[in-house]
Amino acid sequence: MNTANIKETDIVKEELTAIGREALAGCEKLTAITVPNSIVFIDENVFTDCENLVAINVAEDNKHYCSIDGVLFNKDRTTLIRYPSGKRNESYTVPDNIEIIGERAFRGCQNLTSINIGSRVKTVDERAFMVCDNLTAVNVAENNKHYSSIDGVLFNKNKTILIQYPCGKTDRSYIIPDSVKTIRNVFLYCDNLISITIGGGVTVIDGAIFGCENLVAINVAENNKHYSSIDGVLFNKDKTVLIQYPDGKTDRSYIVPNSVKTIHDTFQFCENLISITIPKDAIIDEVSLPKNCIIHRQ
């Protein structure tokens, strides 16, 4: 079935009990859907890339789900499951009773510029705000016991975990606060950023920087005991692991230092590179290499 051509609003039939993973993914012409009372399970990824979807409506007598103004929730309204990508609101305030913001809940919501999280939210999926290209602020109520925000950037309450940097922020550089110890999946497609500075307190970097096409430098505070950088390229402290080569560096060639033993998913979006020289014994994930790039072994 060509899902891209689905237009009907009531496409879920009464006899169905579940909507599986990515069942409606890529339905670009779908503007609204009505979920009948028979549905007992909806996968979080059902509505991925439904860019014109403005309303997910649920039958009032459904025992498992409900909707408010076209936004999908579980029945008791404690979990926000999906905000339709095509809704035209620029700002959204998560209802006060919500405790969980689910996986990819706001993925691809291009019209949103700000999201306000209330005091009761205690779980935010780390991929909740993926591909929200115009999102500039994730704000958190001051009395929330689990999360906080600084200038629209989302942290856990005591600011030891950097959770989300909104990819629509227009700042050209960002300095991670010294309190932060962990960053995961934080800088995803942040095309305005040119440089990121990692503070001295960071101990864990896990898939944190991805698809930032104009990023030319990932700098690290000299007193950081776990990470280092050379000419804006990110390494572990003793430079045996090459962690991230910035996607926006304009160099046409790169020579990996001889100290490097392992190269992770590092060069995937580095389209300017045409030649990479790596140590003869270094282990490299071939999937991470850019197209049309020649690899040389020292």
**Within 13 A of 94's CA, how many CA atoms are on the CB side?**
32
Tokens at residue 178, please? 């010294």
154 domain-assigned: no
Q: Do 58 and 74 meet the contact criterion of CB atoms below 8 Å apart?
A: no
pLDDT in tens, 16-74: 888 877 678 888 888 999 999 999 999 878 888 899 999 999 999 999 999 999 999 99
Backbone φ, ψ for residue 182 (5° rounding): -130, 135
Q: Assess if residue 295 is contained within a domain.
A: yes
- Residue 207: domain span: 170-298
Q: What is the mean pLDDT of the chain?
A: 91
Q: Is there a domain that residue 227 lies in?
A: yes
Average pLDDT over residues 142-161: 97
Q: How large is the average pLDDT for residues 161-184?
A: 96
User: Is 278 within 8 Å of 256 (Cβ atoms)?
Assistant: yes
Q: Which two tokens stand for residue 126?
A: 């780390």
In a domain, 124, yes or no: no
Domain count, the chain: 1
Residue 280 lies in a domain: yes
87 inside domain: no
Task: Give the Cα separation of 175 and 270 in Å (integer).
Answer: 22
The answer to whether residue 110 is domain-embedded is no
State if pTM tops 0.75: yes
- Enter the DSSP assignment of 290: P
Tell me what pLDDT residue 44 has: 79
Joined tokens for residue 91 = 């700002």
State residue 14's pLDDT score.
61
Q: Please tell me the predicted confidence (pLDDT) of residue 10.
A: 46
Domain membership flag for residue 174: yes
* pLDDT for the residue 287: 58
